[in-house]
C-alpha cells in the first residue's frame, strides 16, 4: 500500500513523522509525496495555537475531499490534534477520518493500519502520553541528508500560562545521554550529515527527570566526542532563559563543535507580563544572561520570540519591550500575537487585549526589528563565511541557497550564492558576502 505522510508544525513533529515512516518502511509499505496517488493519507498534526489548528483541519479536509473523489481509501490523523480534542468532538466534526491516533501510538502505526483495512474505526489516544522514541526506533529522514534534528526530550513541565503543550505532550521526559549519542552516531554513519540540530520543548531543562539536575552540558560534552569531521556542527534550539548555568555558557564558549547561535524564546521583558506568563525569570536576569553570553561568545547570534497582546499588557509594558529591543539589538526576532486558547490559565485572565491593538503592536515591533536586522546583516558585507548549501532557489535554479552558523533551517533567512554549482549542495563552501537585506544575504563562492 502507498502512504502519503504530511507533517505539520515544528521540527519536533517532523521527527515523529520520520519515526512513523521508519516503522512503515520496516513493514514494507511504500511512502509517496503524491497524496492524490496513494491508498492512505496520514496527517501528523499541530494544534497548540489557533492558526495551527486551522492549518491541521484544512489539511484533513483536503484529504477528505480526495477520499470522496475516490483518490484515496483511508485517512489517519495523528499527533497533537488527536491529543488536544475529545473523541466525540473529533468524530462528529470529521466522520470521514478512519483513525485518530495520539503521541503514544507512533510505534503502533502498523497495527492501526491493519485495523482500518479490516473496517474498524480507530480512536487510540492516551490522555497522559509517555512515549519517547530512542536510538532503536526506525527512522527515515525527511530533511536533506546533510542536516537532521534529534529530539533529546519530550513534553514540558514549565506550565507557562499561555501554552497547551504540557496538556498535549505530557510531562517532561528526557532520553538518556547514551541513547542520544548512539542515535547521532548512527545517523552520521548512515547519512552525509554536516549539521545536527538538538530539539525539545525546552532543551536547557534536559536531564532533570533522569539525573536529578539540569544536565544539558553533560550531554553536549558527550556529543562533542562523536566520530565526525571537525568542520561539522551541532546547533541547539528551544532553550529556556531560566535554565541556563555558567557551566553551560562556559562550555559553549570553549567548544567549537557547537554553533555560536542560541535560540532563547524570551516571550516578553516586562516583569509584570513575565510574572503573568509564569516564565520563572525576571527582566534583570534576562539582561544578565544576554550580557554574559555576548561577553563569553563574541560571535554569538541570538534568536528569540516575543508575544505581544498578552492579557494585561499595558502600553507601558509594550513600550518597555520596544525599548529593550532597541537597546539590546538581538540579531533575530520573531513576533507573534497572543492567542486566547481555551483551557490555558491566561484565557481566564481579565484585561484581554483587543485584536486590533495586538496587530498594531506586532507591526510596530517588527518595524523596529527590521532596521536592527538590516544593520546586523550589512555588517557582514565583505566577510568570508563557511556556508552549508541546502539546495537551489525555486524561482532561479542557477542560484544556490545556504546557511552559515547564524541561520537555522526553516526559521531564519538564507544566504543566496550566485556562482555555485549543484555539486555544492550538501557541502561546506566559503562565501564572500556582497549584498545584505533584513532577512537574507547574497554572496559568491571565493
- Cβ atoms within 10 Å, residue 222: 14
Residues 305-336: tens digit of each pLDDT:
999 999 999 999 999 999 999 999 999 999 99
Place 280 in a pLDDT band, splitting at 50, 70 and 90.
Answer: very high
38 lies in the same domain as 175? no
Instruction: Report the pLDDT averaged over residues 217-226.
Output: 98
Rg from Cα positions in the chain: 22
What CATH number corresponds to the domain at position 434? 2.40.50.140
Instruction: Report the pLDDT averaged over residues 398-412.
Output: 95
Pairing of strands 153-154, 173-174: antiparallel
Phi-psi region of 59 (alpha: psi -120 to 50; beta: other; left: phi over 0): alpha
Place 232 in a pLDDT band, splitting at 50, 70 and 90.
Answer: very high
Q: Does some domain include residue 212?
A: yes
Q: Does some domain include residue 137?
A: no
* Residue 169 pLDDT > 90: yes
Please give the mean pLDDT across all residues of the chain. Answer: 96
Q: Does some domain include residue 218?
A: yes
Place 425 in a pLDDT band, splitting at 50, 70 and 90.
Answer: very high
Pairing of strands 2-7, 195-199: unpaired
281 lies in the same domain as 411? no
Angle at 177 between CA 173 and CA 183, to 5 degrees: 95
Q: pLDDT value at position 251?
A: 97
CB 218 within 8 A of CB 225: no
Place 397 in a pLDDT band, splitting at 50, 70 and 90.
Answer: confident
**Which of 67, 92, 124 finishes a domain?**
124
Residue 155 CB partners (closer than 8 Å, separation 6+): 129, 165, 166, 169, 170, 171, 172, 173, 201
Domain that holds residue 430: 384-445
Place 179 in a pLDDT band, splitting at 50, 70 and 90.
Answer: very high
Q: pLDDT value at position 318?
A: 98
24 lies in the same domain as 170? no
Instruction: Report the pLDDT averaged over residues 347-360.
Output: 96
Q: Does some domain include residue 141?
A: no
Instruction: Report the pLDDT averaged over residues 42-53.
Output: 94
What percentage of the chain exceeds 70 in pLDDT? 100
What CATH number corresponds to the domain at position 103? 3.40.50.12160
Place 157 in a pLDDT band, splitting at 50, 70 and 90.
Answer: very high
What CATH number corresponds to the domain at position 216? 3.80.30.20
50 lies in the same domain as 93? yes
373 lies in the same domain as 419? no
CB 161 within 8 A of CB 278: yes
Q: What is the pTM of this model?
A: 0.96
* Residue 354 pLDDT > 90: yes
Instruction: Report the pLDDT averaged over residues 47-75.
Output: 95
367 lies in the same domain as 392? no
412 lies in the same domain as 374? no
Q: pLDDT value at position 260?
A: 97
151 lies in the same domain as 67? no
Q: Does some domain include residue 396?
A: yes
Place 353 in a pLDDT band, splitting at 50, 70 and 90.
Answer: very high
**Which of 378, 410, 427 finishes a domain?**
378
Q: pLDDT value at position 41?
A: 98
* Residue 395 pLDDT > 80: no
Place 386 in a pLDDT band, splitting at 50, 70 and 90.
Answer: very high
Q: Does some domain include residue 131?
A: no
How many structural domains is the chain composed of? 3
437 lies in the same domain as 319? no
Q: Which residue has the higher pLDDT, 222 or 342?
A: 222
**Which of 69, 92, 124 finishes a domain?**
124
Q: pLDDT value at position 66?
A: 96
Closest-CA residue to 140 (of 258, 29, 10):
29
Amino acid at each position: 500500500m502507498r502512504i502519503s505522510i504530511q507533517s505539520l508544525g515544528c521540527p519536533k513533529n517532523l521527527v515523529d513523522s520520520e519515526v512513523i515512516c521508519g516503522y512503515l518502511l520496516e513493514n514494507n509499505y511504500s511512502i509517496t509525496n503524491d497524496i492524490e496517488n496513494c491508498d492512505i493519507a496520514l496527517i501528523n498534526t499541530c494544534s497548540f495555537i489557533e492558526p495551527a489548528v486551522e492549518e491541521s483541519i484544512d489539511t484533513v479536509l483536503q484529504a477528505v475531499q480526495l477520499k470522496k473523489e475516490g483518490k484515496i481509501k483511508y485517512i489517519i490523523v495523528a499527533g497533537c490534534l488527536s491529543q488536544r480534542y475529545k473523541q466525540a468532538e473529533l468524530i462528529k466534526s470529521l466522520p470521514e477520518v478512519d483513525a485518530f491516533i495520539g503521541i503514544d501510538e507512533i510505534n503502533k502505526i502498523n497495527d492501526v493500519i491493519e485495523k482500518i483495512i479490516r473496517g474498524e474505526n480507530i480512536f487510540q489516544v492516551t490522555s497522559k502520553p509517555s512515549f519517547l522514541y530512542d536510538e532503536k526506533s526506525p527512522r527515515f529522514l525527511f530533511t536533506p541528508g546533510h542536516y537532521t534534528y534529534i529530539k533529546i526530550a519530550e513534553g514540558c513541565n514549565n506550565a507557562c500560562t499561555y501554552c497547551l503543550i504540557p496538556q498535549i505532550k505530557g510531562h517532561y521526559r528526557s532520553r538518556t545521554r547514551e541513547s542520544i549519542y548512539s542515535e547521532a552516531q548512527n545517523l552520521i554513519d548512515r547519512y552525509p550529515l554536516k549539521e545536527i540540530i538538538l530539539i525539545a520543548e525546552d532543551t536547557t531543562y534536559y536531564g532533570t527527570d533522569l539525573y536529578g539536575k539540569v544536565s544539558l552540558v553533560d550531554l553536549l560534552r558527550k556529543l562533542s566526542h562523536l566520530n565526525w569531521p571537525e568542520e561539522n556542527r551541532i546547533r541547539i534550539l528551544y532553550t529556556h532563559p531560566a535554565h541556563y548555568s555558567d557551566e553551560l555558557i562556559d562550555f559553549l564558549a570553549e567548544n567549537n563543535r557547537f554553533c555560536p547561535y542560541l535560540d532563547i524564546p524570551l516571550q516578553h521583558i516586562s516583569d509584570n507580563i513575565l510574572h503573568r506568563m509564569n516564565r520563572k525569570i525576571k527582566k534583570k536576569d534576562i539582561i544578565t544572561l544576554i550580557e554574559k553570553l555576548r561577553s563569553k561568545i563574541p560571535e554569538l547570534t541570538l534568536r528569540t520570540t516575543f508575544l505581544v497582546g498578552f492579557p494585561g499588557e499595558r502600553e507601558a509594558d509594550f513600550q518597555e519591550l520596544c525599548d529593550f529591543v532597541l537597546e539590546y539589538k538581538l540579531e533575530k526576532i520573531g513576533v507573534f500575537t497572543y492567542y486566547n486558547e481555551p483551557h490555558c490559565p491566561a484565557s481566564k485572565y481579565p484585561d484581554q487585549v483587543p485584536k486590533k491593538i495586538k496587530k498594531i503592536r506586532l507591526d510596530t515591533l517588527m518595524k523596529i526589528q527590521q532596521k536592527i536586522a538590516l544593520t546586523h546583516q550589512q555588517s557582514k558585507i565583505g566577510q568570508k563565511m563557511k556556508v552549508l548549501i541546502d539546495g537551489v532557489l525555486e524561482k532561479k535554479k542557477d542560484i544556490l541557497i545556504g546557511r552559515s552558523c547564524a541561520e537555522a533551517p526553516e526559521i531564519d533567512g538564507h544566504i543566496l550564492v550566485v556562482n555555485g554549482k549543484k555539486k555544492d549542495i550538501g557541502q561546506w563552501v566559503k562565501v564572500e558576502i556582497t549584498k545584505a537585506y533584513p532577512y537574507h544575504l547574497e554572496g559568491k563562492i571565493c
